[in-house]
């Protein structure tokens, strides 16, 4: 089984719909992150959480919300999806520093908003 | 403004040669720099870390250099193989334990 599992892998949704992307991990890491990846823009941080009671906005949090249901679960919601939220979304985890062993990424969710 | 630039979107190289990828940054003070590999349809995979007080790091056929004066990291793959074909991302780590990614360089190793 993958260390970081994202569901769904692909999703097409309509403008204005609410959608949730889910992430679970078996790494035992406290820290979890949501990134989006767009061609030419690289990975950009949406939200991050250093433990269950800690949620922080990243550089592009507008239009998104998150929930850390447990140490192993971190979900990302788009309350009212819009076409420019079409992107590849990645969940990642790290240990306390994220420095020595890097981040562990899931395989991503490709989201299309039509 | 803060910027992380990787030398080119795509790099083609002949099998057996050394591939050199560049990561330049402005208006960051990274404590460390990481390199990741990303295959199509997959998430990035961590390869190497180099800290601000280190000049060079090696791991098998990979070598990373870090020049904080030039604000640049070079990533080398020696004796490149077709299996090395992928997109390579550099990422800067700051003291706040956040990671900022470059846009990546897509490497193709031609047999």
Residue pLDDT, tens place only, A6-60: 999 999 999 999 999 999 999 999 999 999 999 888 899 999 999 999 999 998 9
Q: Tell which A residues from 20 to 79 touch B, by Cβ distance under 8 Å.
A: 31, 35, 40-45, 48, 58
Assign A4 a pLDDT band (cuts: 50, 70, 90): very high
A10 neighbors A62 (Cβ within 8 angstroms): no
Lookup: tokens for B95: 């003291």
**Mean pLDDT of the A63-85 span:** 96
Q: How far apart are CA A74 and CA A87, in angstroms?
A: 18
**Mean pLDDT of the B76-88 span:** 97
Residues 6+ apart with CB under 8 A from A51: A30, A31, A68, A71
Among A42, A44, A91, most B C-beta atoms within 10 A, so best to mutate, is A42
A105–B41: do the CB atoms touch at under 8 Å? Answer: no
């Amino acid at each position: 089984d993958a260390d970081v599992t994202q569901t769904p892998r692909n999703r097409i949704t309509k403008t204005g719909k609410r959608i949730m992307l889910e992430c679970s991990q078996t790494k035992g890491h406290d820290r979890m992150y949501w990134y989006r990846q767009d061609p030419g823009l690289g990975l950009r941080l949406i939200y991050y959480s250093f433990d269950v009671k800690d949620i922080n906005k990243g550089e592009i949090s507008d239009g998104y919300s998150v929930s850390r249901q447990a140490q192993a679960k971190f979900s990302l919601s788009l309350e009212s999806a819009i076409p420019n939220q079409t992107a590849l979304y990645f969940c990642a985890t790290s240990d306390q520093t994220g420095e020595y062993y890097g981040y562990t990424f899931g395989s991503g969710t490709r989201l299309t908003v039509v | 403004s803060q910027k992380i630039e990787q030398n080119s979107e795509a790099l083609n190289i002949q099998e057996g040669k050394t591939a050199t990828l560049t990561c330049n940054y402005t208006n960051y003070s990274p404590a460390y720099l990481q390199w990741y590999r990303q295959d199509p349809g997959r998430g990035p995979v961590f390869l190497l870390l180099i800290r601000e007080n280190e000049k060079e790091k090696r791991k098998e056929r990979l070598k990373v250099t870090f020049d904080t004066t030039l604000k640049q990291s070079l990533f080398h793959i020696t004796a490149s193989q077709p299996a090395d074909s992928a997109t390579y991302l550099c990422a800067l780590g700051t003291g706040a334990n956040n990671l900022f990614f470059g846009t990546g360089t897509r490497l193709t190793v031609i047999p």
